[in-house]
Structure 1
Amino acid sequence: MAEPSTKRRRLTTIKDLSEESNNEAISLHDLLGDPLIAECWEFIYLHDVDFLMSHFDEDTRSLVKVHIVHGFWKRDDVNKLLLEQQSSQYKNVTLHTAYMPEMFGTHHSKMLILFRHDDTAQVIIHTANMISKDWTNMTNGVWQSPRLPRLTESHKSSETDMRIGYGQRFKVDLLNYLRAYNTKRPLCKSMVDELDKYDFSAVRGALVASVPGRHDINDDDPSKTRWGWAGVKHALSTVPVEPGQSEIVVQISSIATLGATDTWLKHTLFDSLSSARASSSKPKFKIMFPTPDEIRRSLDGYASGASIHMKIQSAAQTKQLQYMKPMLYHWANDCEEGIIEEGEIRHGGRKRAAPHIKTYIRYNENKSIDWAMLTSANISRQAWGEAANAGQIRIASWEIGVLVWPGLFEDGAKMVATLKKDMPGKEDLEGEEPLVGLRVPYSFPLQKYGDDEVPWVATASYTEPDWMDQMWRD
């Protein structure tokens, strides 16, 4: 069995689920409760400062230097005003407004960078906003780097391995991402300079991120980083995949308005996700998104749906639903109308915890995993970027995620989906190859939408009560 590096990718705890379902899951206090944390940089979309501060160690929370990076640049933005009001209560909290060059973009990344008194640093990339709702009964995921020691002189001279998926390449891409915040003013320059002094050699994973603006996609300079769909395409072009049929399951919490035709979805996003080190057959795509019935039966009922978005009201949105419908699959996999695929039923333990997590996973015909990505990026042109125009990609939002594959952890390794646990067990052993477990939040086999089923739409009204006898009105 391969070494447990993938335990760094974990699900978050769910308040109203059993202890068994929360086996090996991680809480926000697990991430922030260490009294040795000296400084915390938080890059997130939605913030509750009081909630954030409550998860630091109670004896040291007033001493931690907390930096909050947000994207609310309009003076009268309610989110900005609340942030300013809350943070004013804490002398150790500093707010920073991210550079937002695109009007319709958001600061959607979700990342923590921690510096500790023991001279270690850590990067945590996750999918939850810094609000109570996301850390209680919504399914989310976390990727943690190892504790990063400070560089020694011998390490500095050996930082030459620039292969995608390994520590030095990850470091270069992360620092390039962070430097993009300094485009107009030195928002986090001092932090970047400090993080540069740490050793990333133990990191296994490729950074896949989006930075707003226009970017060249044909620049082969190894010191540069590609963003959005161009970044994931470049990373996947180095990843080996098994021959034969495969499918990519795109499990997200939001689907933006993409257009009346499938041009962008298929020829920009899906083509990028289909990249591989060697030529292979085109994968089939499945998109996992909850229906109104699944939201009604979730732990928080209709309230969960406020965080899950797709629109089907306009003519263009109706056409979009038509071309996406054949690809739509359930989250909970237990709806009466859905079409269940063949296979042994295996439960992921999160079907009643509505999804805020975003995962992109390529499964091969042997049911093992070629690669997996945890990210803040949903299906949207703002997140992944428009199609290339004159060799440039245009991106509206900040996003960040991590891509992993079995060969990063051990030569010849096989990655398998594990359910309700992080590590593979005896039941997963088939051959002699080392195994890498990747915990998946949903259940198998997948369940396709029935003919009359449609996605959840937060801007619609639903008169059928949820399990708490509540109705939903936009």
Structure 2
Amino acid sequence: MADAADEPSRKKRRLDSSVSPPPLRRKMQVRDSPPKVMKSPFQLTRITDLPPASNVDTISLKDILGDPLISECWEFNYLHNLDFLMDAFDEDVRDLVKVHVVHGFWKQEDPGRLNLLEQAKKYPNITLHTAYMPEMFGTHHTKMLVLVRHDAMAQIIIHTANMIPFDWGNMAQAVWKSPLLPLCSNSTLPAQSEQMGNGAKFKVDFLNYLRAYDSKRRICKPLIEQLMKYDFSEIRAALVGSVPGKQDMESDSKTSWGWAGLKNVLMSVPVSGPEPDIVVQISSIATLGQNDKWLDKTLFEVLKTSKNLKSKPKFHIIFPTADEIRRSLNGYASGSAIHTKIQTPAQAKQLQYLKPMLCHWAGDGPQHAADSLTVIKDAGRKRAAPHIKTYIRFADKTRSTIDWMLVTSANLSKQAWGEAQNPAGEIRVSSYELGVLIWPGLLGEKATMIPTFKTDTPPVEGKEAGELVIGARMPYDLPLVPYARGDEPWCATKSYQELDWKGMAYRLE
């Protein structure tokens, strides 16, 4: 009788119990699952005079600052237009947001400093801060926003544009945004904070970067104290920064700067290609020396670094010619933000060793007609002159996959990356710079990063089931177009008589 009475309850338990498929069936489901897709962690900025098809997935300053939940903004940059900055905030709260502007105009009589002081008179909620600038030839070149919000969240935006309308209009630029960072239960850093690319390590390096501003005066301490309270664990990126001054390579500093900091990051990055292509795309080439010693033995040697392979990459440098400046959306005016010098004998020697590596930004001039069989992957930025700076390691010469991508304010210069190590084991860096480096393994297992064109979303054709496919939004077309024999880089200190598309010549006074 008892057995019969218990039968209904046994049946109920069997019906309510979870049912697992046989092991073989589970494996089939994993194997047949489609590839996963992740949008590019870097975005391009919206270009005013390009059509919507060239502005898919792009971002504007108003997109970043227009949220009415923003309560405080720290704006770090080289050039600033405060009217333009304030106009980007939501109109209902722009007078209430606490705005801190960090600049590098340290000379009392500097026109840039006087202009900022005059602009700030209109905005009682703006506080100006002058960065400590110990190096004579250094600049405060970092481009960053730090936002604190009313919903107890914070966000970091690292980008390539000066805070002026010109840079956010028709110039090619890039933006990296952190996830919204919540408050954490306590401000202590986890033990695993030394693992490159995780959020805890990013937090260590980011706060150390901010501390560099406070070496002689109190500037960023209030921001540091706030950010200590936030949880950075959702960030998957490595910070690559520069701060002015000398650093000892043997010191036990938690964070290294300039090329030493970049090397520390790349030592943790696994790479895949035996014949990699490293493409350096910048808006300025400084004085590097009459021979290639610094470029080859310092910066390029660092860019070769990886966790697992000792390969010999081929290097390319993307920089526009005068023809590409003439045909850009702003014509010759675009050239005011793009710099290298080619006029003196010393500068000519530098150009001589750079020339074999130089490639076009647009590469669509009449003298460089593409082979009819060549498939051009169009990034949609030919006419938007480059102020963006990217350093990309492609896995091989097909450039179909990417081992790592760096978006930064740092151009091709000793001031930005640091001099070669001196006999005392020191590196001298002159400028403040900031960038973010990402590689596919940070974002998931079985991950591949591939170039995307006119969209942040990568295609998945031909990818394996279960693979994570990450987009890397490209600012330039592929394949690259090398300089021809008669091509020269644009030089803003040289006059050009040939008219741009607007009918203007370029003459220096």
TM-score range, shorter chain: over 0.9
Output the CA distance in 2 between the equivalents of 1:3 and 1:80. 46
Larger mean CA deviation between 362-371 and 107-116 belongs to 362-371
Q: What residue is the counterpart of 1:20 in the other structure?
A: 53
Inter-partner Cα distance in structure 2 for 1:42 and 1:438 = 26
Give secondary structure in 2 for the equivalent of 1:374: strand
Per the alignment, residue 445 of structure 1 pairs with 479
Matched, 1:347 2:381: no
Q: In 2 relative to 1, CA 273–27 (structure 1 residues): closer, same or farther, beyond 3 Å?
A: same
Which residues in structure 2 correspond to 1:124-143 (within 5 Å)? Answer: 124-143=157-176
Whole-angstrom CA distance in 2 between matches of 1:15 and 1:388: 43
Which residue, out of 200, 203, 210, partners 1:168?
200
* Residues 159, 136 of structure 1: alpha-carbon distance in 2 compared, 3 angstrom cutoff: farther
Q: Is the 8 A contact 1:340 1:448 kept in 2?
A: no
Q: What secondary structure does 1:350 align onto?
A: coil
Aligned counterpart in structure 1 of residue 302 of structure 2, from 272, 276, 284: 272
Asked if structure 2 preserves the Cα contact closer than 8 Å seen for 1:348 and 1:440, the reply is yes
* Residue aligning to 1:82: 115
1:114·1:123 contact (CA, 8 Å) conserved in 2? yes
CA contact (8 A) 1:461 1:473 kept: yes
Name the CA distance, whole Å, in 2 between partners of 1:160 and 1:426.
34
Cα distance, 1:166 vs. partner?
A: 0.7
The answer for the alignment partner of 2:246 in structure 1 is 214
2:326 matches 1:293: no
Instruction: Report whether the alignment pairs 1:48 with 2:78.
Output: no
2:217 maps to what in 1? 185
TM-score by length of 1: 0.96
Q: Structure 2 residue aligned with 1:401, among 435, 444, 447? A: 435
Structure of larger gyration radius? 2
* Post-superposition offset of 1:156: 4.7
| Equivalent position to 2:255, from 216, 221, 225 | 225
Q: Offset at 1:425?
A: 2.0
- Unaligned stretches of 5+ in structure 1? none
1: distance between equivalents of 2:298 and 2:367? 32
Query: In structure 2, do the counterparts of structure 1 residues 72 and 38 end up closer, same or farther at CA, with 3 Å as the change threshold?
Result: same
Partner of 2:418: 385
Q: Does 1:356 align with 2:387?
A: yes
Task: Return the match for 1:203 from 206, 210, 235.
Answer: 235
Report the equivalent of 2:314. Answer: 284
Aligned-partner SS, 1:118: coil
Separation in 1, partners of 2:493, 2:46:
28
Matching residue within 132, 151, 158 for 1:99: 132
The structural deviation recorded for 1:67 is 0.3
Alpha-carbon separation, structure 2, partners of 1:244 and 1:192: 42
Check if 1:462 corresponds to 2:492: no
Do 2:205 and 2:255's aligned partners in 1 also have CA atoms closer than 8 Å? yes
Deviation at 1:340, TM superposition (A): 5.7
User: 1-side partners of 2:137 and 2:470: how far apart?
Assistant: 39
Q: Give the residue type in structure 2 aligned to 1:373.
A: L
Confirm or deny: 8 A CA contact 2:46 2:58 kept in the other structure: yes
Inter-CA distance 255–148: structure 2 relative to 1 (3 Å threshold): same
Match of 2:470 among 425, 429, 436: 436
Report how far residue 162 of structure 1 moved.
2.5
- 2:356 aligned residue (299, 302, 326): 326
Q: Any idea what SS the aligned residue of 1:450 has?
A: coil
Q: Is the 8 A contact 1:339 1:449 kept in 2?
A: no
Pick from 258, 272, 276 the counterpart of residue 246 of structure 1. 276
Distance 2:493 2:368 in 1: 23
Deviation at 1:2, TM superposition (A): 4.5
1:473 aligns with 507
Deviates more, 1:95-104 or 1:279-288: 279-288
Provide the secondary structure at the position in 1 that maps to 2:167.
helix
What letter corresponds to residue 177 of structure 2 in structure 1?
A: Q
* TM-align CA RMSD: 1.5
Unaligned runs of at least 5 residues, structure 2:
1-34
1:187, CA displacement in angstroms? Answer: 0.7
Secondary structure of the equivalent of 1:202? coil
In 2 relative to 1, CA 148–31 (structure 1 residues): closer, same or farther, beyond 3 Å?
same
TM-score (norm 2): 0.90
Q: May I ask how many residue pairs the two structures share in their alignment?
A: 469
Percent identity, aligned pairs only? 57
**Cα separation, 1, equivalents of 2:151 and 2:57:** 26
